[in-house]
Amino acid sequence: MISNFIQYANTPGKIIALITAIPGILIAITFHEYAHAFVADKLGDDTPRRQGRLTLNPLKHIDIYGMILLLFVGFGWGKPVEINPNNFKRTISIKKGNALVSLAGPIMNFILAIIFSIILALYLRFGFIFAVTNPVGNTLALIIRYIISINIGLGVFNLIPLPPLDGSKILVALLPEKARAWYTNNERLLYIVFIII
């Protein structure tokens, strides 16, 4: 959505698109990575906590290159949350724990998209005139739309089952043993496929 708007907009339009997209990017990446850290911590791994990742401070989660790509290309990433599956509670398998931690990020993005969709619907219903006729109101509506679209985009993108995305770790947890072994042994090749795509 952002990249398409930027491509066809005039110069002032491009600047507005970039500025209004930034809050959405910060929210999407920050909450995505925080969700990984939160679930890992709840499962018994204190690695994210020790590294200061159990916070909603964007500076702890934003990768500048990933943010720039998300801004201009439409996909990107944050700083990966490091975890140590060996620290997971004994009540959960490493395979299942990895899947839950990986799934937490995209799920958080979809939850945010739903929440802000409700906010946008209420805003347009009860503040329609302000949203349409007032420049500030119109800009606010645009920011909320970007928050929704960026969260959906980031959530879907991360579910692609190719390394290093979350979808690859979820898939590994679901595959039977032989298929999982093949996938794990060919992760480097699959990563190259991801780069090419």
Active-site residue set: 33
Burial classification of residue 122, based on how many CB atoms lie within 10 Å of its CB (0-12 exposed, 13-18 middle, 19 or more buried): exposed
What is the C-alpha to C-alpha distance for residues 175 and 88, in angstroms, rounded to an integer? 21
| Residue type at position 121 | A
Straight-line distance from the first to the last Cα atom of the chain, in angstroms, rounded to the nearest whole number: 19
Measured in degrees and rounded to the nearest 5, phi and psi for residue 45 equal: -95, 115
What's the sign of the alpha-carbon dihedral 2, 72, 187, 82?
negative
